């Protein structure tokens, strides 16, 4: 068996559940590329040395949390979205340079777009990690002016408030119990960034479930406790598989062409074969 012409991997801990290899390998087969893409279990303490030790056979990496933060010190350059969010989920090895990108923002925008949300005014984000930062920037792209940021410790939301200022969004940190309280303004979109299976510990208000689309970025196990409540009440819910799919497509753009904004050749067909793996 011949050696692959390029090596790629998704890093994280745990990582055995990741659907990224199936998504990426489907894309590369459709594009006629003999590339390898594997799962590698890795925590934040090891990611820097791993990235620095890759040889010329390596083309790129996909990163899960908390590696999206931990990788930043060993990168030579970040794209504008990674700089803004302070998180990189994609590393491109390019001529000896290590370039970082954030494709989570585009994944969220495109996933919401498929659900019919191409513009919004108000939103709630549940959680305060790297995915919450990407969600804030994605919501800004959709025109959202105000985000209620729901956290177990609202005082921990200062960095996301500042990110909101940079992105042109007013961010109001609240205790997560605010999920059960109808605020003064109707909410268009709720994005839950809680890890899969995590219970928010509070039921969403009937008014919120009745008016807002819930994007729960988790996809396994499914449904999450919050999504189950939304579904039981007849609310509109999408899981994180769409975000996963579209951020992976943008990663393929990076690994193939070096630019997440430039479409692939036959991109519609590439997306279709990737979607079939989910």
Residues catalogued as catalytic = 68
Q: How far is CA 44 from the centre of its chain?
A: 18
Structure tokens at 52: 């620095």
Residue with tokens 């997560």: 176
From the number of C-beta atoms within 10 Å of its C-beta (0-12, 13-18, 19+), residue 208 rates as: buried
**CA–CA dist 237, 190 (Å, integer):** 10
Q: Give the Cα separation of 224 and 145 in Å (integer).
A: 28
Q: What is the DSSP string of 96-143?
A: TEEEEE--HHHHHHHHHHHTT-S--SEEEEE--SHHHHHHHHHHHHTT
Q: Taking Cα atoms as reference points, which of 277, 234, 274 lies closest to residue 110?
A: 274
Secondary structure (H, E, C), 1-14? CCCCCEEEEEEECC
Q: Which structure tokens are listed for 41?
A: 């279990």
Phi and psi, residue 207, nearest 5°: -65, -40
Residue 127 contacts residue 151 (beta carbons within 8 Å): yes
Give the whole-angstrom CA distance, residue 203 versus residue 152: 14
Alpha carbon distance, N-terminus to C-terminus of the chain:
28
């Amino acid at each position: 068996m011949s050696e692959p012409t390029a090596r790629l991997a998704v890093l994280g801990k745990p990582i055995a559940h990741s659907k990224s290899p199936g998504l990426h390998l489907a894309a590369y087969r459709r594009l006629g590329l003999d590339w390898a893409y594997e799962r590698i279990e890795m925590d934040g303490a090891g990611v820097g040395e791993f990235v620095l030790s890759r040889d010329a056979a390596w083309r790129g990496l996909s990163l899960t949390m908390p590696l999206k933060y931990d990788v930043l010190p060993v990168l030579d350059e970040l794209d504008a979205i990674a700089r803004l969010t302070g998180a990189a989920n994609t590393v491109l090895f390019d001529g000896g340079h290590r370039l970082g990108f954030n494709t989570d923002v585009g994944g969220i925008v495109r996933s919401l777009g498929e659900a019919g949300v191409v513009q919004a005014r108000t939103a709630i984000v549940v959680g305060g990690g790297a995915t919450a930062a990407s969600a804030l920037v994605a919501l800004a792209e959709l025109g959202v002016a105000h985000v209620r940021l729901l956290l177990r410790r609202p005082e921990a939301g200062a960095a996301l408030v500042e990110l909101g200022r940079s992105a042109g969004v007013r961010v109001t940190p609240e205790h997560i119990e605010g999920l059960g309280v109808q605020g003064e303004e109707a909410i268009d979109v709720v994005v839950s960034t809680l890890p899969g299976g995590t219970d928010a510990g509070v039921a969403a208000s009937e008014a919120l479930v009745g008016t807002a689309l819930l994007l729960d970025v988790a996809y396994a196990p499914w449904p999450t406790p919050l999504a189950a409540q939304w579904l039981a009440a007849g609310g509109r819910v999408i899981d994180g598989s769409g975000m996963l799919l579209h951020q992976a497509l943008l990663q393929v753009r990076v690994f193939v062409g070096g630019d997440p904004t430039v479409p692939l050749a036959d991109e519609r067909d590439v997306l279709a074969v990737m979607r079939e793996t989910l």
